[in-house]
Amino acid sequence: MSALQARPEEPGVAAVRVPLGGRAYDILVGRGLLDGAGPRIAALGARAAAIVSDETVAAVYAPRLAAGIEASGLRTALVTVAPGEASKSYETLARVCDAILDARIERGDLVVALGGGIVGDLAGFAAAIVRRGVRLVQVPTTLLAQVDSSVGGKTGVNTRHGKNLVGAFHQPSLVLADTAALDTLPLREMRAGYAEVVKYGLISDERFFEWCEANWRRIFAGGPERDHAVAESCRAKAAVVVRDEREDGERALLNLGHTFAHALERVTGYDAARLVHGEAVAIGMCLAFRFSVRLGLCPGQDAGRLRSHIASVGLPTSLAEIPGGCGPADGLVEAMAQDKKVKDGALTFILARGIGQSFIARGVAAPQVRAFLTEEIAG
């Protein structure tokens, strides 16, 4: 473990500490953490835990997780939602809150989010607002959730204006990332999560990117490289979150590729059959690097190196690869302008001077973006 915040733990478990003062917490990464979750969750001190999951994940993991927690002396209740982005809605949020209250969860008790990013965002938001805040344990079961959404405290639901426009910052009290859960993850979801792993290298750590280039097959296959990639990603994200918890500044770096990605998800109607978030991020990161090249900020060979790695793992790298296309450049720019990261009407992008050298570029002029995208669409 090269993680800066690594702490001694038992063999095979990496611990990343997120030092947020009174809200500090541990991210534990390792194989088999789900089955050993009971004592770790019980150590937080609570009488009851409401496990929130989606029906698919719950069928596989909820009985094991609940049994472990109950064996450690806590009462549990299971709350399930339908799988899929549609569950990140006001209506499902209300239903989950009511179900948590049905389970007689008090201020000192816990909500356990078991599943991918959708469940984590939804259950995390419910935990933030039930009784004005109960503690949250994240048990992410996808690579995307393990390296991104379960870390950092962002929770929320979607509205007709866009994704995650209503939510809360609510840090978990514990994150248990069981990397064995990824053994059965569909390849497409594994790749989608991997885009976020690569992102951390692109932002500030060229050596990690280089390590990914050399080791990505082993990350996909499982084994110590997977654990290292997850722990290293969590460490990278945690370091940024600690310096800027509420995204007033530097945390925006984590949006590398995301201004493009959110626009692509929007114009493809959030249709997972066409494009999932991680795929949109993969394309978005390639676009961010090529846009940086076009602006004379970044060497062309860095954009090429990124494209080559992204393509090698089987992720899309260009707009042409989106099934059904992405429509005209105007539509994409319009979609970006509605993104919540727009400040005072100007576009903000994360651009790069090279791999590992990303920076926040505020006030990027829309016509420049439009011209770039027009060329990209033309191929």
Chain-centre distance for alpha carbon 202: 16
Instruction: State which residue, 107 or 188, has the beta carbon closest to its own copies.
Output: 107
H/E segment holding residue 17: strand 13-18
Structure-token pair, residue 241: 């979150």
Q: Which residues pair with 175 in a beta bridge?
A: 27, 138
Is 255 among the catalytic positions?
yes
168 lies in the binding site for its own copies (CB under 8 A): yes
Report the C-alpha gap between 81 and 84 in whole angstroms.
9
Structure-token pair, residue 75: 């009462």
Is 132 among the catalytic positions?
yes
- Given the residues 163, 226, 237, 290, the one annotated as active site: 237
Give least dist CB 135 to its own copies, A.
12
Structure-token pair, residue 297: 């900020």
Candidates 159, 215, 357, 368: give the one binding its own copies (CB under 8 A): 159
Question: What is the per-residue burial (b if ≥16 Cβ within 10 Å, else e) of 307-328?
Answer: bebbeebebbbbbeebeeebbe
Instruction: State which residue, 97 or 144, has the beta carbon closest to its own copies.
Output: 97
Four-CA torsion 345, 237, 120, 103, nearest 10 degrees: -120
Give least dist CB 197 to its own copies, A.
25
Question: How deeply is 370 buried, as exposed, middle or buried, from its count of CB atoms within 10 A (0-12, 13-18, 19+)?
Answer: middle
Window 33-62: residues binding its own copies (CB under 8 A):
47
SS3 call for 234: helix
- Given the residues 163, 258, 266, 309, the one annotated as active site: 258
Report the C-alpha gap between 32 and 13 in whole angstroms.
9
Instruction: State which residue, 46 or 352, has the beta carbon closest to its own copies.
Output: 46
Candidates 3, 42, 79, 130: give the one binding its own copies (CB under 8 A): 130
Contact range with its own copies by CB under 8 A, out of 125-133, 176-184, 255-263, 356-364: 125-133
Report the C-alpha gap between 138 and 49 in whole angstroms.
12
Q: How many CB atoms lie within 10 A of CB 241?
A: 22
Candidates 7, 64, 107, 217: give the one binding its own copies (CB under 8 A): 107
Window 200-239: residues binding its own copies (CB under 8 A):
none
The 86-105 contact track toward its own copies, x by CB under 8 A, reads: ----x--xx--xx--xx---
Instruction: State which residue, 170 or 228, has the beta carbon closest to its own copies.
Output: 170
The 339-368 contact track toward its own copies, x by CB under 8 A, reads: -x-xxx------------------------
77 lies in the binding site for its own copies (CB under 8 A): no
Give least dist CB 166 to its own copies, A.
5
Candidates 160, 186, 273, 367: give the one binding its own copies (CB under 8 A): 160
Instruction: State which residue, 116 or 167, has the beta carbon closest to its own copies.
Output: 167
> Is the Cβ–Cβ distance between 257 and 199 less than 8 Å?
yes
Is 170 among the catalytic positions?
no
> Is the Cβ–Cβ distance between 195 and 278 less than 8 Å?
yes
Report the C-alpha gap between 142 and 187 in whole angstroms.
11
Catalytically active residues are 132, 154, 196, 237, 247, 251, 255, 258, 262, 277
Binding site for its own copies (CB under 8 A): 47, 90, 93-94, 97-98, 101-102, 106-108, 125, 128-133, 154, 156, 159-161, 164-169, 246, 340, 342-344
